[in-house]
A and B are shown apart, each in its own frame.
Chain A
């Protein structure tokens, strides 16, 4: 099977620090790929390199077999790759609907939209509500309430819903459960499963081993700026994964089949 998103020989240097050292990366269609690694291993650089947030010094990225060269996250977004940042990238004082459509607002058809530049609020609200309902988030009753009035888990839910609404090809989640409590983490994990069941592949960056082992189909272990190995969570334990990650244990040599 051809990977939907593929990186080959990616290199990124910041001054004398090499964050990515000829790193490879594969995301298969329909899977949840977890990316784990120690702090400073280059996970973020890898994700930024495939999502357009940084431009790799060397190497190639392919989306559905076609070579791509993003110079900004906006371009990646237009190509169908949505990223949910750890900071969520939402404007707290604005409403859920405003946030979901930020930067790609819908305008009314006809004179009001074309000449008066009026936004099509009813349509944006309807679509936002549909998406939240679809993901089972409709206990948020008022689509016009400000994002800052939501709990941490709800905000994460809205951010994931935004990504799911627009991410046609790949969704990248950066530490989606890091700031959440146990109950809210659970809900976000359910959301991730839910998005996956819609057939959209997900890249999940997380430090939380139980979460990773619960939802991931494959685990990309990142160490010293490159892909150390890809493991199947069914074949290894969490302590194995941590041992690979930290270098305490020799990584399996065979390339893992998806």
Chain B
């Protein structure tokens, strides 16, 4: 028991390493991963505001960006959860469209009350998410392959089931307006003629609420911490007592559910139920997630960053259009942002010794 004397404060001290100025910035970004996209967002708003003046820097234009971002933001929230577990969900867009088609067709083909049809659509999205999660967690298949396959399957099911028929906006608004509820708009501060002012849709509010709720869940609940731990190192998480399979399946199910909500919001945005809509949602959501600073290797980043990432894309799209630039400039700049974001992510990772 010679060790008993060693129990004073002098035992096992470890030195704190000294960081330089650059190291301090690196450390800061490491702690606050949403900071980079936030700065980029504010700067891009500022630059376009200076270039375009009140044409861009008006409540109308700025809220228009929010409306245009709503669908990508909602799908991006689903994508964020999946990417945090070091997975990827290529089927988000297909799940979204399939769910919206189920909501529409159940209402109009079978005459099911619209509320029940919506619930069926939400369940449909959750079920496809469950299939993804089960194949990935239990069958141990790579997420990329599973969701690549599920993308095709869900999209084909969508076309086969809907017979490629669009349900027109007018029919929906007269017979089942609930389907379009996410498109409902309210305006603050318009002039007498009803122009300008800040326009908010239910879809925009839903997106913001969703991100806030998920940010809380990821940060403040055990499940949220488990999502990060699973993405960081699944074996370590398992040994620490995390139910890795259960966490993965629940993440993909929640992702499917959120995509189904996005499908509902999509009806509100475009007015009709169209099986050909939303084809780019998977790529756009991954773009938002990556620009938002969430690591594709999992376990790092914040969902707020994804929202900033989606908004950056929205700001560039509208800003460049108002400037009269070729739309290809938008893609070019977004491409550069994606590569820049991943480079920053790699740099931040190096903080680990």
Q: Which residues of A contact B (CB under 8 A)?
A: 73-74, 77, 83, 85, 87-94, 98-99, 102-105, 107, 116-119, 121, 135-137, 139-141, 145-146, 148-151, 153-154, 157, 184, 187-188, 190-191, 193-194, 196-197
Contact = CB atoms under 8 A, between A and B. Distances in A.
A87 B235 contact: yes
Contact of B240 (A99, A157, A187, A190): A99
Contacts of A74: 241
Interface in B226-266: 226, 228-229, 232-233, 235-237, 239-242
A89 B11 contact: no
Contacts of A196: 3
A157 B14 CA distance: 10
Nearest to A141: B16
Contacts of B43: none
A77 B240 CA distance: 9
Given A148-B351, A187-B12, A194-B6, A85 B221 contact: no
A-B complex: 10 closest residue pairs judged by Cβ atoms = A103-B241, A193-B3, A148-B352, A136-B11, A89-B239, A105-B222, A91-B232, A102-B240, A187-B12, A89-B236
B229 A102 contact: yes
A151 B353 contact: yes
B30 interface: yes
Nearest to B242: A103
A154 B31 CA distance: 19
Given A92-B232, A146-B30, 7 more contacts: A87-B236, A117-B217, A117-B222, A139-B15, A139-B16, A141-B16, A151-B14
B225 interface: yes
8 contacts: A77-B241, A85-B239, A94-B299, A102-B241, A102-B242, A136-B9, A139-B16, A188-B12
Range of interface residues on B (Cβ < 8 Å) = 35 or more
A42 B299 CA distance: 34
A6 to B, nearest CB: 24
Contacts of B10: 136
Given A141-B16, A193-B6, A197-B4, A91 B239 contact: no
A102 B13 CA distance: 25
A124 B330 CA distance: 46
Nearest to B1: A197
B220 interface: yes
Contacts of A137: 12, 14
Given A149-B27, A193-B3, A91 B13 contact: no
Given A94-B228, A98-B225, A102-B240, A194 B3 contact: yes
B300 interface: yes
B220 A135 contact: no
B12 A136 contact: yes
B106 interface: no
B237 A136 contact: no
Contacts of B232: 91-94
B353 A149 contact: yes
Nearest to B217: A117
Contacts of A98: 225, 228-229
A20 to B, nearest CB: 21
B18 to A, nearest CB: 13
A157 B12 contact: yes
B206 interface: no
A118 B217 CA distance: 8
B200 interface: no
A140 to B, nearest CB: 7
Interface in B276-303: 299-300
A56 B30 CA distance: 44
Nearest to A147: B352
